Structure 1
Amino acid sequence: MEPAPFHHDIAAAPEGARAFWVTAPDGVRLRLALLAPPPDTSRGTVLLFPGRTEYVEKYGPAATAFLARGFACLSLDWRGQGLTDRPLGDPATGHVARFSEYQTDVAEVIGAARALKLPEPYFLLGHSMGGGIGLRALHKGLPVKAAAFTGPMWGIALPAVFRPIAQLLAALTHSSGFGHTYVPSTKPGTYVLDAPFADNTLTTDPEMYGWMRRQLETHPELALGGPSMTWLNEALKELRQLRSLAPPAVPCLTWIGTNERIVEIEAVRRLMRNWPGGTLKEVEGAEHELMMEPPAIRDAFFDAAAEHFAAS
C-alpha cells in the first residue's frame, strides 16, 4: 500500500485519518482510507461502503462518530468515482462494465483491513449503492459479524414514465455500443452542485448540504455526474438477481427515510420483512442520506448502529 491524497481540509475526520492506494488484480488503482484509527479500547472495525458518486472524505464525520463509540473505520472510493481510477474518457460518467467488478473492490477492503491489522470483529455499514454491493458481499461470505444499512440500493426509484422500459432500453443501449452514454435525465454535472437545497433528495439539514457543496467546490476532482446506460443495465440485473435470494444469515439493522426518493423504499421493506432477526427503522420525513440528516437523526443512527454491532 502506498500513500494517497486525503483532503483533511474538507473531511472533518479524526486525527490520524489517512488514505492509501491499492491495485486490484484487474489493474484498477483504488483509493482506500483509514478514516478512524483503532481507539485504545476497540470494539471492532466498521467497513463503510459508500454510495454512488461518493468519496471517502464525505464520511469523516461518520468516522468521528464511530470512533467516539469505540470503532475503527475503513472506507474506499469505488472504481469509477472519487480518486479511484475512472474507466471512461469522460470522467464525469459513473460507469462499470459489470456490477461484479465492485466485489473485486470489496476483496481489496478486506485485504487492507487484515494488512493493517485492524481490530476484529468487522462490521458492514453500507449506504445506497454501497448497500447493494454490501448485500451481494454478504451472500458471498463477507467476514463481518453484523451489518447496518442506510437507504440501501435494493431497488432503484426510477421515474414512473421510464420504469416500464428501463431494463429493455438499458440492455439495448448497452448491446448496441452506446452503453457509455448518460442515463436519460442525468448529465455530467454532479447533483449536489446543481440542485438547490430546497426540495433536494439527500438531506433536510441545510448545514450538511452546504458542507457537501463546499467539499466539491474545493476539490472538484471528487465530483461525479450521472451513471452510464451500461451501469444502469448492470445495476438492474444485479438487483433482480439479489431479489431472488433469501436474506443472508447476518444480523441486520436498516434505516430509511419516509421521504426516500432515490432508492425504492418498498424493495427495502420487502427484504427486511423476510430478514430473520432484521430490524427496519423508517425515519419520518427524512431523505436519502440518514448520516447527513440533522444531528438528532444522525446521532440516533450512530447510537443504534453501535448498539447493534456490540450486541451481535
Structure 2
Amino acid sequence: MQQHKQSWLGREKGFSAFATGPLLDFWRQREEGEFTGVGNLKIRYARFTSPHHHRVILIVPGRIESYIKYPELAYDLFHCGYDVVIIDHRGQGRSDRLLPDSHRGHVAAFSHYVDDLETLYLKEIVGHHYQQRYVLAHSMGGAILALFLARQPQAFHAAVFCAPMFGIVLPLPPFLAHRILDWAEKLPVLRDGYAPGTGRWRAHPFGINRLTHSRERYRRNLRFYADDPAIRVGGPTFHWVREGIQAGRSIISQADKITTPVLLLQASEDDVVDNRSQDMFCTAMAAAGHPCEGTTPYVIQGARHEILFETDAMRAEALNAVVDFFERHVS
C-alpha cells in the first residue's frame, strides 16, 4: 500500500499515459449492475472486486456525477486493498431520469436517494459479508449518506464526508430564496423548471471552473460528458433546490443519531456548498457526544469543491487522510 500511496504525488506529470494505460485496463475490469429503486426507476452502479479483499468502500457521488467519473479514485482505493462499489443516483449518470428533459437535475423527494442507497447497501455490502464496511461520500452524496447514517448508524465501520452538501451556496439572501422556492413549489411549470441562472449542460473552459485546480483531471472529467450525451445533467430544478435545502436542515437536526465514526474533509476554497453548515454539523456531533475525527472539519487548504479531483498534493493529502482513517477503524 505504501508504494501505491507514493505514486499519488507525481501522477499529473504523466497523467495521459496513466489514464490510457493502467487506469484504462483497470476500468475494463468493472462489473456493472442495476436494481429497481423507488417508483420503479432503474438505479445503476459499478463495482470492482477481488477474491483477496475482505473490505469494501461504497462511494456515493455528488450531483450530476456518474460512476464513470470515478475510475481513478476506485483504482487507488482498490490498490489499497478494498473492493469498491459506486452508485449512480436516480436522475443522473446511467440511472433512469425523472423528467422528459434529461438535463434537469430533479428528484421527487430527497429521501428517495436515501432509499436507493439503502437498497444498494443491503444488496452489495451486507450481501457480500465483508469484514469491514466503509463509505466515502462527496457533496450531494454526503447529504444522502448523512440521512442514511441517521437511519442506520451501525451500517458502516467508518464514514468519510468529502465537501458534503449540508448547505447550499445561494445567489440570493436565504429569506428571499426560500420565498421564491415556496412560491414556485405551487406552480408545476416553475417547480420542475431550471432554477434561476441554470440550464442545460454545457462545457465550461478550465479557466472559469469552480471545482478544481487540476487541469488534467478537469479536462478528463469534461471529456466523459462531452463524449457521452446520455450522462449529461445540467442545472437543478426549483424543486430539487428546495429538497436539498430541507435535507440540509434535517441533517443538522438528526446529527445526534449518527454514531458512526466520521471524518469530514472541507475544501477551504469551496463556493459550491456552504462550509458553515459543515462546521455546524461537527458542532452538533460533538454536542451529542460522538464528535467528528479531530472534532472539527479536516480542512484541505487551497482546495476547491472537488477535493479528490484536485492537484496531486491536495488530493494526496485528502486520500491519505481517508485511507488512514479507515485503517484505524477495523471493528
Please report the TM-score for the alignment, with normalisation by the length of structure 2: 0.85
Change beyond 3 A, Cα 1:118–1:9: farther
Structure 2 unpaired stretches of 5+:
1-18
Alignment partner of 1:149 out of 140, 161, 169 = 161
Q: Aligned partners of 2:73 and 2:127: how far apart in 1?
A: 20
**Mapped contact 1:39–1:71 kept (Cα < 8 A):** no
Q: Which residue of 2 aligns with 1:305?
A: 322
Q: Which residue of 1 aligns with 2:250?
A: 241
**Mapped contact 2:252–2:280 kept (Cα < 8 A):** no
Q: Aligned partners of 1:51 and 1:19: how far apart in 2?
A: 19
* Secondary structure, counterpart of 1:285 in structure 2: coil
Deviations 1:190-209 (A, max 9, x none): 4xx1x221242110000011
Q: Aligned partners of 1:51 and 1:164: how far apart in 2?
A: 26
Alignment partner of 1:168 out of 154, 166, 179 = 179
Deviations 1:239-278 (A, max 9, x none): 1222222341111111121110000011111212343341
1:18 is aligned to 2:27: no
Alignment partner of 1:95 out of 82, 86, 106 = 106
Q: Which residue of 1 aligns with 2:3?
A: none
Q: Which residue of 1 aligns with 2:9?
A: none
**Mapped contact 1:39–1:70 kept (Cα < 8 A):** no
Q: Aligned partners of 1:39 and 1:162: how far apart in 2?
A: 52
**1:39 Cα shift?**
5.8
* Secondary structure, counterpart of 2:255 in structure 1: coil
Alignment partner of 1:186 out of 174, 187, 198 = 198
Q: Which residue of 1 aligns with 2:239?
A: 230
Q: Aligned partners of 1:301 and 1:62: how far apart in 2?
A: 12
**Mapped contact 1:75–1:109 kept (Cα < 8 A):** no
Task: Give the ranges of 4+ consecutive aligned residues of structure 1 lying more than 6 Å apart after TM superposition.
Answer: 8-11
Quick check: 23-32 or 84-93, which moved more?
23-32
1:291 is aligned to 2:311: no
Quick check: 13-22 or 247-256, which moved more?
13-22
Deviations 1:168-227 (A, max 9, x none): 21122112222111000111124xx1x221242110000011101111111121110000
Change beyond 3 A, Cα 1:200–1:98: same
Q: Which residue of 2 aligns with 1:270?
A: 280
**Mapped contact 2:150–2:255 kept (Cα < 8 A):** no
Q: Aligned partners of 2:253 and 2:130: how far apart in 1?
A: 34
Please report the TM-score for the alignment, with normalisation by the length of structure 1: 0.90
Q: Over the residues paired in the alignment, what is the CA RMSD in angstroms?
A: 2.0
Aligned length: 299
Quick check: 18-27 or 222-231, which moved more?
18-27
Q: Which residue of 1 aligns with 2:64?
A: 53
